[in-house]
């Protein structure tokens, strides 16, 4: 079995996304594979150890580009860019992705046999700072002093001391961390 993070496997009736993958070689040729798996249908994460000889069915998910339109009462609307079909997903469906959704953002919607599985965000997004503490003189030169800032989506993150209200920043969607000032 050779897998890597991002691969989707079918284990029993569950679709499992490989989040982390480690090979452990033991004595006398015994090799175990430790994986952190996220169940795409239920949403939980689990660590499992498999024998290197075990076989799993590799699954290919269909991906379609959708544009994020708006949020209304916990329902998130997206539009297919080819067919103009609209879908609405709940907060449970999109999880932490809600922290990075801005009007007009393009995302990949994944499905398996017509059933929604998840959305994939771009690696980075541009978000506007709507609230942050003012910078303190003398602390801005090296960028090592951080402060809390709230962005337009309501998400709170740490930013360098020199960032001010109204600025647009680039945020890494995987880690949720500040990356740089938007140019």
Classified by CATH at the fold level, domain 124-181 comes out as OB fold (Dihydrolipoamide Acetyltransferase, E2P) (2.40.50)
Q: Where in the chain is the domain with CATH 2.30.30.30?
A: 8-59
End-to-end C-alpha distance for the chain, whole angstroms? 44
Of the chain, the percentage scoring pLDDT greater than 70 comes to: 92
4 has pLDDT over 70: no
Contact 108, 65 (CB under 8 A): yes
How far apart CA 163 and CA 41 sit, in angstroms, is: 39
For residues 166 and 38, the model is more confident at 166
How far apart CA 178 and CA 173 sit, in angstroms, is: 9
Q: Does CATH place domain 62-120 in 3.60.150.10? A: no
Maximum Cα–Cα distance for the chain, whole Å? 63
User: Which pLDDT belongs to residue 171?
Assistant: 94
126 has pLDDT over 70: yes
Which residues lie across from 8 on neighbouring strands? 17, 59
Q: Could you tell me which CATH number the domain at 8-59 has?
A: 2.30.30.30
Contact 78, 94 (CB under 8 A): no
Q: Where in the chain is the domain with CATH 2.40.50.140?
A: 62-120, 124-181
Residue 79 burial (CB < 10 Å; 0-12/13-18/19+)? Answer: middle
How would residue 151 be classed by pLDDT, with cut points 50, 70 and 90?
very high
Question: For 153-180, what is the mean pLDDT?
Answer: 91
How far apart CA 92 and CA 24 sit, in angstroms, is: 35
Q: What's the pTM?
A: 0.71
CA 152 to chain centre: 18
């Amino acid at each position: 079995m050779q897998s890597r993070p991002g691969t989707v496997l079918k284990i029993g009736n569950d679709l499992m996304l490989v989040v982390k993958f480690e090979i452990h070689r033991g004595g006398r040729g015994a090799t175990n594979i430790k994986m952190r798996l996220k169940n795409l249908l239920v949403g939980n994460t689990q660590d499992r150890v498999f024998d290197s000889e075990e076989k799993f069915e590799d699954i290919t998910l269909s991906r379609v580009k959708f544009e994020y339109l708006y949020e209304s009462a916990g329902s998130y609307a997206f539009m297919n860019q080819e067919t103009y079909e609209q879908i609405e997903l709940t907060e449970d469906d999109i999880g932490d992705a809600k922290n990075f959704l801005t009007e007009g953002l393009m995302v990949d919607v994944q499905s398996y046999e017509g059933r929604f599985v998840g959305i994939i965000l771009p690696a980075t997004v541009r978000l506007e700072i709507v609230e942050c503490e003012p910078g303190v003189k003398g602390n801005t030169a090296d960028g090592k002093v951080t402060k809390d800032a709230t962005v337009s989506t309501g998400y709170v993150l740490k930013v360098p001391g020199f960032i001010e209200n109204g600025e647009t920043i680039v945020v890494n969607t995987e880690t949720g961390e500040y990356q740089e000032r938007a140019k």
